[in-house]
Chains A and B, each alone.
Chain A
């Protein structure tokens, strides 16, 4: 590295770093320059860069250009390139390095500020929701849910309950921006009689420090969360509908060798299990109109972590919910799926032109599927797919799994339908009764 003032980006020696990081025997020199990676990368062409070019330039020692290209904030670290490369070359390793090499004041401020917020609060919330605020929001929202009718009288989300089976995490977007989206999740957990708890600390799901290229910060957030789960003695850290939170925890625990005395699991797999066991008796009767649904495989959950079993569970749950005949896959899908373009911190990086250009492939996939709705078990995917739909003039809607589960079970409240179209504003409203206790 060359010495530099804080605001200039130092020059990284990418080839030397690659030699240091790659396992013995592996080398970027093995690149055949075949271009399969770039062909399958939605970020190809943004800022005149693509993964093949990045690798070639690294091998040629064009370090200054690579150190400063803003493209590193458009690559979503989705690892599609390495999954199609015959040599398994993973450009995202170098991209992460390049990100960490940018001085914090030059990195996209959205990512930096989110990460700083996470490090500041015991909540680990990127939106700055403090522990006591979280507890209050949960209590108030639960009261709202109870007012929906007598059958919700028992909804009392536990917080800091020692020894619960599930430690349930929560993306900050719900408590901070759309608390009415919390209710469907609680109703499902209540329906199946889950033994669960929130924690007042370490409850948040998101991890933007991972995307800043700052390993110490990533580690600090994961440590905080691991400590919270260990302290409550829960058996399973249950990741709710959020993709990168799973990857950041699962990968972080291994990478940093943390002492996690619990299993990691994700909610979709438990939906699948509860449906198989008959504890969530969902069906597609509400979908008489034959609305067509597709599902987004979050890269962070499917390609980068759990793999095909997660993709299978997503489809099993989706088919059960909407009717097999109304389900259609995007192409490609599962482990070969394209990133939505909102991952890797792209939604927070402020480069919306580049982000939407990346999202064009996702938009085309959705348009080709002819789906009316996209099911997204991930908040980043959800926001990005909504945004590109508006931008490119799509006529689909984007919805969480929990919304459809509650809809199917007849327990979805009126206020919990913001992501449903007018055709689904009415079906299966819960009985109101008049003794909601508030």
Chain B
């Protein structure tokens, strides 16, 4: 039995399979770059499914994110979204949502204004684009349609009653009810993932539709937790809506939910079919940047692997995904030990007021880059001409507070791929088709 690594040679290697890594792989394939991607589970798995561009600026809810980008450029010129032209951001967003829709996970076309989407906490949240399965909730909330929100015995992380308690005062036609989920009536804990898979079976859909119809009582809209299938949810949504005879929408659940699983599984299947060399559920353990090429080393269950690439795009996320590590001495980037822009010491990480609207200095920590998304040394020199970075790993943004997670991921992925392609030029790297 041999221990020789299996080798792949590509133009671009993407490290990370969150939104930034997947968007980068997609954009790179669209450009015709031979591409490999390595990634593991991470923050994407917990997402609500909403694609936020910029929802909050200086503590104020943003209605028009495009003009807010201009404001961001003035106030926070170091913010990753402030360094990319708004038309490039728009273009990247459109390409990304169109690609998702072609995978059967329809997303609303990003418009000029933020949408106000209901959340499981019973609030409404500004976001730019959301799954078509959730779209009718925005309209129902705006028009205060007669709506029945359903939750399920045993499902934690989604309470119809809480939704109605919080939204009801401004939305009089809103009612709630609790049902048993067909085939899962034994009193155990229910998971959205299992329910969503079950709803891909026509017979389960019909039984659920029957139970909901029996309690509709004239409601014209029905809100369900996000359980309308995982693979091609649009189909499940259409079929159940038809069976109900009412407008149907999903509201995200608390993690563990299905929105991220939908995206992850769709990418894992579709991108290799478009030529991507994908090593999923693994992490790169070593990255070497050489004069001639970059080399990624990793292990999958079968043994060692090496990926040789002309350029590398680092999209490894923050603490949750392992792109940044916090220890006693500060914040580190574990793969290359890249310089991390950060507050001077742990004491300076947080402000005294935990709910301070301007956020905490530690949230702005990350990798500092030039305008071509190349990580920089403290003296301002590029770390390596083959290295690019994207996503929430980047310094100068606070995606949780500013509600800009997907925006940072998608826009910087697009810009970094563009920059990497420029670096590779015609004739750099290896232009033979992917080995994978």
Contacts and interface: CB of A to CB of B under 8 A. Distances in A.
A331 B198 CA distance: 11
B40 A88 contact: yes
A86 B41 contact: yes
Contacts of B320: 32, 86
A88 B272 CA distance: 23
- Top 5 closest pairs, chain A to chain B, by CB: A331-B231, A368-B200, A45-B188, A39-B256, A39-B191
A85 B255 CA distance: 13
Given A38-B191, A331-B231, A260 B281 contact: no
Contact of A85 (B41, B192, B269): B41
A38 B256 CA distance: 9
A361 interface: yes
Given A36-B45, A307-B301, A332-B265, A364 B200 contact: yes
A45 B189 contact: yes
Contacts of B280: 308, 335
Nearest to B154: A45
Given A83-B281, A336-B265, A368 B197 contact: yes
Nearest to B232: A331
Contact of B265 (A38, A308, A331, A364): A331
Place the interface of chain B in its size category.
Answer: 35 or more
Interface in A195-239: none
A264 B1 contact: yes
A30 to B, nearest CB: 10
A183 B129 CA distance: 57
B52 to A, nearest CB: 21
Nearest to B191: A39
Secondary structure class of chain A's binding surface, majority of residues: helix
Given A39-B194, A336-B265, A361-B197, 15 more contacts: A34-B45, A39-B191, A39-B192, A40-B261, A48-B188, A86-B43, A263-B1, A305-B302, A307-B302, A308-B272, A331-B200, A331-B231, A360-B183, A364-B204, A368-B231
Interface in B298-354: 300-302, 320-322
Contact of B189 (A44, A83, A306, A329): A44
A305 B1 CA distance: 14
Given A304-B301, A335-B281, A364 B197 contact: yes
B42 interface: yes
B63 interface: no
B337 to A, nearest CB: 16
A365 interface: yes
A303 interface: yes
B83 to A, nearest CB: 29
Contact of A86 (B2, B42, B278): B42
| Interface size bracket, A side | 35 or more
Given A86-B45, A332-B265, A34 B255 contact: yes
Interface in A44-93: 44-45, 48, 50, 83-86, 88
A289 to B, nearest CB: 22
Interface in B198-237: 198, 200-201, 203-204, 230-231
B372 interface: no
Interface of B: 1-2, 40-43, 45-46, 183, 186, 188-189, 191-194, 197-198, 200-201, 203-204, 230-231, 255-256, 261, 265, 268-269, 272, 278-281, 300-302, 320-322
A35 interface: yes
B1 A253 contact: yes
A250 B230 CA distance: 34
Nearest to B2: A263
Interface in A289-315: 303-309
Contacts of B192: 39
B321 A86 contact: yes
Contacts of A40: 193, 261
Contact of A35 (B41, B256, B300, B301): B256
A84 B258 CA distance: 13
Contacts of B191: 35, 38-39, 44
A367 interface: yes
Contacts of A305: 301-302
11 contacts: A44-B189, A44-B191, A45-B186, A45-B188, A83-B281, A86-B43, A260-B1, A263-B2, A303-B301, A329-B269, A364-B197
Interface in A340-360: 360
A368 B183 CA distance: 15
Contacts of B197: 331, 361, 364-365, 368
A333 B2 CA distance: 28
Residue of B192, B300, B302 contacting most chain A CB atoms (<10 Å): B302
Contacts of A45: 186, 188-189
A44 B192 CA distance: 13
Which residue, of B197, B200, B268, B302, has the highest number of chain A Cβ atoms within 10 A? B197
Nearest to A304: B301
A261 to B, nearest CB: 9
B28 to A, nearest CB: 19
A39 B203 contact: no
B46 A39 contact: no
Nearest to B257: A39
Nearest to B43: A86
Contacts of A50: 189
B192 to A, nearest CB: 7
A331 B301 contact: no
A364 B281 contact: no
Interface string A118-145: 0000000000000000000000000000
A84 B231 CA distance: 17
Nearest to A357: B186
Q: Which of B42, B43, B198 has the most CB of A within 10 A?
A: B198
Contacts of A38: 189, 191, 256
A33 to B, nearest CB: 10
A40 B191 CA distance: 9
Interface string A365-389: 1011000000000000000000000
A395 to B, nearest CB: 12
A136 to B, nearest CB: 33
B234 to A, nearest CB: 14
Contacts of B268: 334, 336
A34 B46 contact: yes
A367 B200 CA distance: 8
A83 B204 CA distance: 28
Nearest to A247: B301
A250 to B, nearest CB: 8
Contacts of B194: 39, 44, 361
A246 B106 CA distance: 40
Contacts of B45: 34, 36, 84, 86
A361 B265 CA distance: 17
Contacts of B231: 331-332, 368
Contact of A36 (B41, B186, B230): B41
B256 A367 contact: no
A332 B188 CA distance: 23
B201 A368 contact: yes
A84 B302 contact: no
A44 B302 CA distance: 28
A307 B300 contact: yes
A332 B321 CA distance: 22
Contacts of B301: 303-307
B70 to A, nearest CB: 36
Contacts of B272: 308
Contacts of A307: 300-302
